């Protein structure tokens, strides 16, 4: 019968065979070396991954484990820093990432390595063991995950991750910058910390019901920052599920669109102003013996210039040309007020100088300190053909002879409106208009149109243009002045409103307005 020792030997042999089968079946590579670095064991997985074997390889770990690179894939791992060599020295290595490229294994693989020393019964190091596995796909997945993490961390949109109860698990830096809450302050809270109080409970109930049932919520939400400031957010909330379909998280991505909303609101206000402006537009009046035209081109969507024609009870025509300080929406509002005041006092059949005085008193109450309006008023009489005028610090107008030369200049007769209480305005003597003569009223945007190098269009170029085109229809002259200024500045952005009005005395007082073949001028108020 076998002895006890023989039984033990047989049991150890069976155990050894079993271990051999196990190691050779493992998907992980296993290499064992003694204390001198001689390879004692490699399993098939190791030979496949590294391209070495216990038979055909050098028996020394120092020379057999070649082609091992640092993560930069360029620098070789020094022999004394190889994981198995370090393990033989007594060091334990955990999850170290190494790139291996051998002649048999190109273009190479990433392996994740664990190694530790073997010790005898006395505790002395007697060798080393290294276990590793192919991490190439894991490395690619890790790179993708790292890239995704960088995207989320660096995106300008706020990202919030919550559990199924709505408790915040993660926020990105954009969330911190937008809301004012730090990551530490947000973690463990719920998105209720952002509630503005401007949405009712039903709004949030419907939102929650939508994304908890698998449908993404998309909409605009008004939130409140840590400072109390409100902001608009375009928000998308999506439910996250695991491989089994179980709901695990909610992720919210939101973009601060407050500035976009402000711009939309401004555009709405400008559109409203333009709609009001359209109500002020009317065709230039048909006046026997005259050809009348006007042109107005604001620097912005709305402007601070306007011109107007008002029929008086005695048959004369009142012409107003005005310019508020600056341009844009605020100046347009001032112009709307000015136009209303002028029309109101003209209906009272007051003289031009008195109208200016009364408009001045009204604007003193309306305008902010330092703001003012210049206003030119002219009365066009039909029989005999003549005009009188009064001007509140407006740029000069001109009357041209039939030849195109200047007959007289219509200078200011008083200070601007809205600055001084009790301002007085003179009424200039009536000026007769002979057949073929032209009156020009304009705003300072015409002569002050400036080139990129600082040269102004100037008054003389205005006079020269009228002289050269004095036989054109009134509307064509007014439009032509504008186009001449734009050509002069060589396409430089328009920095002021440009307005002009032309009054032409026809060759015969019995002649009426030009025939339909001549373009009709337009009465404009730039508001």
Q: Provide the CATH number for the domain around residue 227.
A: 3.30.450.20
3-state secondary structure of 216: coil
- The answer to whether residues 517 and 411 belong to one domain is yes
| Residue of 332, 375, 380, 337 lying closest to 356 (CA atoms) | 375
Residue 523 has pLDDT above 70, yes or no: no
Confirm whether 351 is domain-assigned: yes
Confirm whether 263 is domain-assigned: no
Buried-state track 55-65, b at ≥16 Cβ within 10 A, e below 16: eebeeebbebb
**Helices of type H across 93-238:** 136-154, 173-179, 183-186, 201-212
- The answer to whether residues 204 and 115 belong to one domain is no
Q: Provide the CATH number for the domain around residue 472.
A: 3.60.40.10
Sign of CA dihedral 345, 346, 348, 352: positive
Confirm whether 292 is domain-assigned: yes
Confirm whether 227 is domain-assigned: yes
Burial of 5 (0-12, 13-18, 19+ CB in 10 A): exposed
- The answer to whether residues 204 and 295 belong to one domain is no
Banded pLDDT at 55 (limits 50, 70, 90): very low
Buried-state track 177-194, b at ≥16 Cβ within 10 A, e below 16: ebbebeeeebeeeebeeb
Residue 270 is predicted with a pLDDT of 63
394-430 residue pLDDT tens: 999 999 999 999 999 999 999 999 999 989 999 998 9
- The answer to whether residues 302 and 446 belong to one domain is yes
- The residue out of 140, 170, 195 marking a domain boundary is 140
C-alpha distances out from residue 325 to 169, 339, 397, 398, Å:
56, 15, 19, 22
Residue 4 has pLDDT above 60, yes or no: no
How many domains would you assign to the chain? 3
Q: Respond yes or no on whether the N-terminal peptide bond of residue 107 is cis (omega within 30° of 0).
A: yes
Q: Beta strand 305-311 with 317-324: parallel, antiparallel or unpaired? A: antiparallel
- The answer to whether residues 287 and 414 belong to one domain is yes
113-158 residue pLDDT tens: 899 898 888 888 889 998 888 877 766 555 555 556 666 777 888 8
Write the CB contacts of 431 (distance below 8 Å, at least 6 apart in sequence). 386, 387, 388, 399, 408
Higher pLDDT, 351 or 517: 351
454-495 residue pLDDT tens: 899 999 999 999 999 999 999 999 999 999 999 999 878 887
| Gap between the Cα atoms of 428 and 446, Å rounded | 24
Mean predicted lDDT score pLDDT of the chain: 81
- The answer to whether residues 37 and 183 belong to one domain is no
| Gap between the Cα atoms of 485 and 445, Å rounded | 9
Write the CB contacts of 247 (distance below 8 Å, at least 6 apart in sequence). 164, 212, 239, 240, 241
257-311 residue pLDDT tens: 888 888 877 777 666 665 655 555 556 788 889 999 998 887 765 557 889 999 9
Sign of CA dihedral 21, 22, 25, 29: negative
Confirm whether 273 is domain-assigned: no
- The residue out of 256, 271, 305 marking a domain boundary is 256
Contact, 396 vs 409, CB < 8 A? yes
Residue 527 has pLDDT above 70, yes or no: no
Confirm whether 159 is domain-assigned: yes
| Residue of 120, 502, 18 lying closest to 292 (CA atoms) | 502
Burial of 108 (0-12, 13-18, 19+ CB in 10 A): middle
Residue 149 is predicted with a pLDDT of 64
Q: Respond yes or no on whether the N-terminal peptide bond of residue 422 is cis (omega within 30° of 0).
A: no
Give me the residues paired with residue 502 across strands.
293, 440
Confirm whether 150 is domain-assigned: no
- The answer to whether residues 244 and 221 belong to one domain is yes
Structural domain range at position 224: 155-256
| Residue of 229, 280, 286, 289 lying closest to 256 (CA atoms) | 229
Residue 453 is predicted with a pLDDT of 87
- The answer to whether residues 305 and 429 belong to one domain is yes
Q: Tell me what percent of the residues of the chain surpass a pLDDT of 70.
A: 80
| Gap between the Cα atoms of 66 and 16, Å rounded | 30
Residue 105 has pLDDT above 70, yes or no: no
**How far is C-alpha 493 from the geometric centre of its chain's CA atoms?**
22
pTM of the model: 0.53
3-state secondary structure of 346: helix
DSSP 8-class letter at 81: G
Which DSSP string do the residues of 475-512 spell out, in sequence order? HHHHHHHHHHHHHHTTTPPP-S-EEEEEEEE-SSTT--
- The answer to whether residues 209 and 123 belong to one domain is no
- The answer to whether residues 107 and 207 belong to one domain is no
DSSP 8-class letter at 100: E
- Mean pLDDT for the stretch of residues 25-54: 77
- The residue out of 140, 169, 196 marking a domain boundary is 140
Residue 521 is predicted with a pLDDT of 37
- The answer to whether residues 59 and 95 belong to one domain is yes
Residue 6 is predicted with a pLDDT of 47
- The answer to whether residues 323 and 385 belong to one domain is yes
| Residue of 94, 26, 39 lying closest to 66 (CA atoms) | 39
| Residue of 77, 141, 81, 73 lying closest to 115 (CA atoms) | 81
Residue 12 is predicted with a pLDDT of 45
Confirm whether 19 is domain-assigned: yes
């Amino acid at each position: 019968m076998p002895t006890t020792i023989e039984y033990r030997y047989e049991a150890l042999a069976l155990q050894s065979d079993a271990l051999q089968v196990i190691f050779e079946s493992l998907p992980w590579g296993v290499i064992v070396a003694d204390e001198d670095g001689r390879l004692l064991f490699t399993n098939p997985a190791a030979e496949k991954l590294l391209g070495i074997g216990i038979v055909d390889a050098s028996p020394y770990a120092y020379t057999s484990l070649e082609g091992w690179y640092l993560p930069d894939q360029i620098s070789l791992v020094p022999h004394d820093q190889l994981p198995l060599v370090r393990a033989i020295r007594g060091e334990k290595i955990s999850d170290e990432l190494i790139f291996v490229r051998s002649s048999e294994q190109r273009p190479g693989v990433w392996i994740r390595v664990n190694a530790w020393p073997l010790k005898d019964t006395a505790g002395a190091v007697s060798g080393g063991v290294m276990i590793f596995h192919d991490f190439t796909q894991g490395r690619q997945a890790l790179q993708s995950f790292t890239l995704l993490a960088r995207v989320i961390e660096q995106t300008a949109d706020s990202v919030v991750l919550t559990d199924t109860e709505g408790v915040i698990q993660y926020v990105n830096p954009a969330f911190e910058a937008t809301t004012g809450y730090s990551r530490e302050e947000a973690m463990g809270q719920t998105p209720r910390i952002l509630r503005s109080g401007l949405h009712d409970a039903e709004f949030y109930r419907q939102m929650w019901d939508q994304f908890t049932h698998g449908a993404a919520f998309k909409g605009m939400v008004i939130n409140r920052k840590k400072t109390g400031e409100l902001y608009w957010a375009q928000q998308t909330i999506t439910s996250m599920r695991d491989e089994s379909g179980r709901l695990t998280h909610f992720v919210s991505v939101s973009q601060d669109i407050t500035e976009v909303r402000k711009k939309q609101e401004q555009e709405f206000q400008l559109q409203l102003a333009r709609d009001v402006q359209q109500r002020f537009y009317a065709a230039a009046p048909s006046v026997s013996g005259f050809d009348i035209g006007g042109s107005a081109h604001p620097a912005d969507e709305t402007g601070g210039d306007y011109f107007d024609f008002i029929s008086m009870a005695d048959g004369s025509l009142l012409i107003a040309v005005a310019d508020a300080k600056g341009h844009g929406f605020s100046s347009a509002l001032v112009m709307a007020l000015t136009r209303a005041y002028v029309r109101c006092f003209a209906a009272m059949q007051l003289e031009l100088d008195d109208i200016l005085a009364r408009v001045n008193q009204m604007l003193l109450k309306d305008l902010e300190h330092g703001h003012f309006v210049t206003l030119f008023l002219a009365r066009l009489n039909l029989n005999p053909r003549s005009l009188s005028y009064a001007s509140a610090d407006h740029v000069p107008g001109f009357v041209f002879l039939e030849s195109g030369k200047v007959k007289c200049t219509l200078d200011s007769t008083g200070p601007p409106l809205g600055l001084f209480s009790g301002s007085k305005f003179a009424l200039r003597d009536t000026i007769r208009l002979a057949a073929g003569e032209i009156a020009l009223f304009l705003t300072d945007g015409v002569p002050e149109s400036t080139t990129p190098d600082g040269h102004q269009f100037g008054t003389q170029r205005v006079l020269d243009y009228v002289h050269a085109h004095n036989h054109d229809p009134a509307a064509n002259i007014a439009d032509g002045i504008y186009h001449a200024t734009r050509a002069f500045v060589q396409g430089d952005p328009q920095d002021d409103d440009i307005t002009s009005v032309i009054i032409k005395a026809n060759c015969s007082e019995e002649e009426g307005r030009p025939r339909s073949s001549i373009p009709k001028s337009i009465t404009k108020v730039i508001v």
